[in-house]
Amino acid sequence: MPRWVTSIAVGLLATACAALIRFLLDTLVPGAAVFPLVFPAAMIATLFARWLAGATASTVSILFGWYYLYPVKNSFRFETSAQAVTMGSVIIAAAITVALAEMFRRSVHRATQERDRQIAERELFLEEFDHRVKNNFMLVASLLEMQRRRAGEGETAEALGSALSRVESIARAHRYLYRGGATPGTVDMAAYLNELCSALSDALFLRGAITLDCRSDHAALPRDRAVSIGLIANELVTNAVKHAFPGRDTGMISIRFEAAGAGWLLTVRDNGAGMPAETKARGRDGGLGHRLVEGFARQARGTIHTESGADGTVVTVQLEP
């Protein structure tokens, strides 16, 4: 449909709405307020469908009121010069209303185009930034993996493997930050933790002997907070695999992330042998891993609580809203 046809149709629709309201008013106060509805009808029509719609609405409304209502019904005659001046004033006011509404509509349209241009430029910048950051993550991970392989077996290789796992956890959160569907600047925790668990299963060679079960509610959390929570889960699962199942080939580790009141609750549970008495006071590994978990919990605005016994260990992190 041509644009001018749409404009005229919108103008006639606005006129019909004004006429309906005028009819309802006329049943209450016959003959009162002949022309005031011309101006809102013309303004609305202009804002929605350009100046032609406003001109159509004002022209039809004024001619209708002039002929059928004012000053002499069923006639375009004037009885006095004052009536002619009144009609001229209505026509001029309607023209000014349409002109102002069209100026406002065009300024809004220009502002919208400028906003869309800025958004497009920002999205292009973010895509380029995302690409460069992903390349940097891949470079760091590749270097760590190369050094880990050269280190062979031992504490050095183990430390490099832990560092590699932490870098990959941060990289996953970064990927979810720039995926569509989430609020800008946030990470979908359900998707993020599920992929994290899958990667941990592959990295720790969990092939059915020790199973890792991950369940999470959907929550859009800020990137930095999501990264901290993912790193907590990464450390706790890694520690559980290393220390919870001595002399055993089977076991279960579960991760739960769920709403708890106004905040969130992260729970990492295993059915291993529990922590030895001498290590309960200083954490499962008593070293860097425990200190990292505490640091990540502070960054995520969480409080850690650990329970350990013969049937396993449960670590809960209560996260503030």
> Tens digit of pLDDT for each residue in 11-48?
999 999 988 887 887 777 776 666 888 899 999 999 99
- 287 token code pair: 């070293």
pLDDT tens profile 251-306: 899 999 999 888 999 999 999 888 776 665 555 445 667 788 888 899 999 999 98
Q: 162 or 190, which is more confident?
A: 190
Q: Which CATH number is associated with domain 185-319? A: 3.30.565.10
- Listed in sequence order, the residues at least 6 apart from 249 whose beta carbon sits closer than 8 Å to its beta carbon are 209
Tell me the residue length of the chain: 321
Each residue of 279-301: b (16+ CB within 10 Å) or e?
A: eeeebbbeeebbebbeebbeebe
Asked whether the beta carbons of 78 and 71 are under 8 A apart, the reply is: yes
Q: What is the pTM of this model?
A: 0.56
State the pLDDT at residue 181. 47
Q: Which long-range contacts does 81-87 make (Cβ < 8 Å, 24+ apart)? A: 87/62
Look-up of token digits 């996260």: 319
Sign of the alpha-carbon torsion through 275, 279, 281, 285? negative
Domain boundaries, the chain: 3-114, 185-319
